[in-house]
Amino acid sequence: MPTALIADDEALLREDLRDKLAIAWPELTIVAEAANGAEAATLIDSHQPDVAFLDIRMPAMTGLEVAQGVEGPTRLVFVTAYDEFAVQAFERAAVDYLLKPTSVERLSQTVARLKASLAEPARDPRLMSLLALLHENAPAGDAAPPSRLRWIRASRGDTTYQIPIDDVLSFQSDDKVTLVLTARGEHVIRTSLAELLPQLDGERFWQVHRGTVVQVDRVKHIRRDGDGRMTLQVDGLERPVSVSRAYQARFKQM
């Protein structure tokens, strides 16, 4: 039996979606409901539902921030009040959207897409394309959700931690994983630096190397040697961080 989670900060909208899913997908079991993003992230981790219906604008964490931390096989459907331009961005990706309030007919189309996706062995790999499109095309003004990450959900061993973005000193990435460095140690996320950068505050997090980003507020001092090499000492990190020549100009005034 397929399972699902519904996350929306409005109880009436959660109830409406639950009732319409009972019509469009009667064999679906709703295993959990969440009233905010942080709760949704925790429940997805614990229940590992086949599908998560995520409202985009929620307290604590947005639906986009929740999606960024989902590492399991859960398929994601965003629930949005966006205008038609943003809706078209969703349409160009395989993961579906629902425009609030949705109809049973529209929901039936989503169910058909989800059933086809669930027949595949792994989570749709094009989720990050959808997130990038959404960040790029989200309308300005009060209707747009916050576009900057406030939390990072990262692993150390068998444990997943929810790390405030303020605590992150540096991101260091290779071809497979990205290390999240804090004063308390290293954690791992399976998100590339290219996917991560658009979600970071560019005034605070500066790329200093092809695979390295630092929180510039935490830079204690800069060292330059006679060969033109530059390193940063970041407060909380033991080892200095190298700055490639392509990014050194940003530090000339420091």
Looking at residue 175, which CATH number applies to its domain?
Answer: 2.40.50.1020
Question: Which of the two residues, 245 and 17, has the higher pLDDT score?
Answer: 17
Query: What is the rounded distance in angstroms from the CA atom of residue 161 to the CA atom of residue 167?
Result: 12
In total, how many domains does the chain have? 2
Query: In sequence order, which residues have a C-beta less than 8 Å from that of residue 23 and are 6 or more positions away?
Result: 104
Beta-strand runs (E) in the chain: 3-7, 29-34, 51-55, 75-80, 97-99, 151-156, 159-164, 168-173, 178-182, 185-189, 205-209, 212-215, 219-224, 230-234, 241-243
Q: Is residue 138's pLDDT more than 80?
A: no
Q: Is residue 238's pLDDT more than 60?
A: yes
Q: Which two tokens stand for residue 179?
A: 């290390």
- Which pLDDT band holds residue 107 (cuts at 50, 70, 90)? very high
Q: Is residue 66 part of a domain?
A: yes
Q: Is residue 143 part of a domain?
A: no
Whole-number average pLDDT of the chain: 82
- Which pLDDT band holds residue 4 (cuts at 50, 70, 90)? very high
Q: Is residue 144 part of a domain?
A: no
Q: Is residue 110's pLDDT more than 70?
A: yes
Q: Is residue 205 part of a domain?
A: yes
pTM, two decimals, is 0.51
For the beta carbon of residue 244, count every other beta carbon within 10 angstroms. 14
Q: What is the pLDDT of residues 161-217, one digit of tens each?
A: 889 999 999 999 876 789 999 998 999 998 888 788 888 888 899 988 888 999 999
Q: Which domain holds residue 62?
A: 3-137
